[in-house]
Amino acid sequence: MKIVSRYKLPGCKGAHGFYIDEETHYAFITGEDNGSYIVFDLIAKKVIFTGKVGEEPDVIAFDKDYHFLYVASESGIVSVFELRQGAVNKVCEGFLADHAHTVAVDQLTHKVYFPLQNINGRPIIRVMKPVKH
């Protein structure tokens, strides 16, 4: 492997979570050290959106049909964005559970899965489905 380009990611400390959307050619990157996100346009080669998510963002999942991007954080905050060409909108954000830092999306059913390590002393998996607007 050979490095072909390098780009600065201003405002993103501790780049950790990462997703590239093949439709928009946007890279969505979270900053683990400052609870931030940036959206980097891979065609224009620049940061086009920035903002905040929960503390210590970790895993990112994307629903390709709904264009929803989920950011799960160690703090238990889950942020949901709608990602489209020219726009990145935070749809909602809230506390799900302590250490809710892993997320996965079933592309057929649009169900969103959150494995949680300790709910009332037991591990569980919480299954959610977005309300399409």
Q: What is the pLDDT at residue 118? A: 84
Mean pLDDT of 2-25: 94
Say what the pLDDT of residue 75 is.
95
- Tokens matching residue 64: 């390709």
Q: What is the pLDDT of residue 119?
A: 86
Cα separation, 84 vs 82, in Å, equals 7
Burial class (CB in 10 A: 0-12, 13-18, 19+), 51: middle
Q: Are 100 and 72 in contact (CB under 8 A)?
A: yes
> d(Cα 92, Cα 79) in Å, to the nearest integer?
6
What are residue 115's DSSP bridge partners? 125
Do 30 and 53 contact (CB within 8 A), yes or no? yes
Look over the chain and give the mean of its residue pLDDT values, rounded to a whole number: 95
Structural contact between residues 113 and 96, judged by C-beta atoms closer than 8 angstroms: no
Answer whether 17's CB lies under 8 Å from 71's CB. Answer: yes
pLDDT band at 132 (very low <50, low <70, confident <90, very high): low
Contact 105, 128 (CB under 8 A): no
Q: Could you tell me how far CA 95 lies from the centroid of its own chain? A: 15
CATH number of 15-101: 2.40.128.630
Query: Residues 77-124: pLDDT tens digits?
Result: 999 999 999 999 999 999 999 889 999 999 999 999 999 988 899 999
